Structure 1
Amino acid sequence: MTTTILSPRAGKIDDIRREDDARGYERDETDNFHQLVGRLVATSDTRARTAGRRARRTLAEMDPGHTRQPILRMTTADITYRASRACGSCGGSGGRMEDTSSDGVIRQNWVTCGSCRGSGVQQ
């Protein structure tokens, strides 16, 4: 029985790249998309004109009564933040470690501060 050893190949990607390079320069796919959209716009304009109306172009024309979400606008007004005061009971840590060791076993549990409910900020 004989064993055939295949020679290594670059792979499918390199084959595709070689074919693409052999075709030469091609326009980007976005050009085809823009041409398609241009044809659709021209067709809809023609249909609207024959029906005696104008093609809708704006959002208000396409969806009357639609309300947009408000736009976040940056402001030049002075924005001041009040510094939060640390909780007087826990000192701003939000709680404390509680030691419940017994019989040689060390147990420590985190106990949330009741005054600030674990936020560490004075309420």
Structure 2
Amino acid sequence: MSLLIKLYECPRSSIKPVASIEQCNALLNWFDNHLLELHSEAIVELTEQTLLKLLSDLYRLSANNCEQVFPTIPNFVHGASEYDEAYWQKVAQLRVKLKQLLDSFDFNQHQLFLQGSW
């Protein structure tokens, strides 16, 4: 499973990938609960506000609240569901990627879309 963040320009054939996040079932769960339930190959717009909310949740995440703030999907075949070292590494990577994206992407000039692929 991977979630591809893409820059969308008309026509659709000109969609340009700007980031890729793979094997993070907690992220899929977060989008399902805060945006809408994602389906493979669906394309959903990501607003700056949505990404700021996600980044805020990632920064307030702790071992005590991870099962409430950024829970994994139990027994999901794409990505681990344990709250182990790999989970915390993925959280750290997401924080960096989101911060970079928010700092560099011009939401006034472009639209940002998420495409699930699994």
TM-score, normalised via structure 2 length: 0.18
Q: Highest CA radius of gyration, 1 or 2?
A: 1
TM-score, normalised via structure 1 length: 0.17
Q: Which has the higher helix share?
A: 2
**Greater RCO, 1 or 2 (C-alpha within 8 Å, sep 6+):** 2
Q: Which has the higher strand share?
A: 2
